[in-house]
Amino acid sequence: ITFTGKIENKTGYGRFEFTADESYRTALTQQGISPADDNLLLQCFLAEFPSNYVAAVQKLDLGQIDREKLEQLAVFRLDEQAIKKYHELAASIGQKSVSFDELIQMKVSNVTKETAESLAKSGLKNLDLEALTQLSLHGVNAKYIAELKAQGLDKLTSEEILSAKIH
């Protein structure tokens, strides 16, 4: 990538020129990704995906990775290590696998191991992945649960807590 532009008083403007690596394009095509256009290559470049990324990710039980899925993985910066962490998190709450859509939802909702542990310590044990994702998406955390408990609402289910947060 070549950048040109100007920065004045913390404000900038400019242009960039991306020159695709043809060997990277060939590697993607050989892994079944077509068309491997410049936009996709730019997304993969920005996500810092290695040329063997598709082959590596397909070993992580996400099913067939096509162009559209690769683009989503790149946009959400889901590298191999992040995907493994989400699989580990799912396993820690008893879910055997994570679908591609669940993986994207976990990323969008900012679900972390710390989130799951914090919610469990707050009394929300045995949450499934969907509940954990929804609670995280809507900002339910230990502090919010403590506030509810301080108001005498200490026997609420995860669904009731989520409903209270949304409404």
Q: Is 1 exposed, middle or buried (0-12, 13-18, 19+ CB in 10 A)?
A: exposed
- Calpha distance 29→125 (Å, rounded): 45
Q: What three-state secondary structure class fits 34?
A: coil
- pTM here is 0.84
What pLDDT score does 69 carry? Answer: 96
pLDDT band at 1; cut points 50, 70, 90: confident
What pLDDT score does 147 carry? Answer: 93
Residue 68 in tokens: 């559209």
What pLDDT score does 62 carry? Answer: 87
Residue 127 in tokens: 């949450």
Beta-strand (E) ranges in the chain? 2-8, 11-17
What pLDDT score does 29 carry? Answer: 95
> 88 and 110 in contact (C-beta within 8 Å)?
no
Q: What's the gap between Cα 152 and its chain centre?
A: 35
Which among 112, 61, 64, 49 has a CA at the least distance from the CA of 86? Answer: 112
pLDDT band at 3; cut points 50, 70, 90: confident
Q: What is the mean pLDDT of the chain?
A: 93
The mean pLDDT of 18-40, rounded to a whole number, is 94
pLDDT band at 2; cut points 50, 70, 90: confident
- pLDDT higher than threshold 90 for residue 103: yes
Residue 113 in tokens: 């191991």
The mean pLDDT of 108-116, rounded to a whole number, is 93
Structure confidence by residue, pLDDT tens digits, 68-100: 999 999 999 999 999 999 999 999 999 988 999
Cα four-point dihedral sign 62, 66, 68, 72 = positive
Beta bridge partners of 15: 4
pLDDT band at 46; cut points 50, 70, 90: very high
Tell me, what amino acid is at 21? D
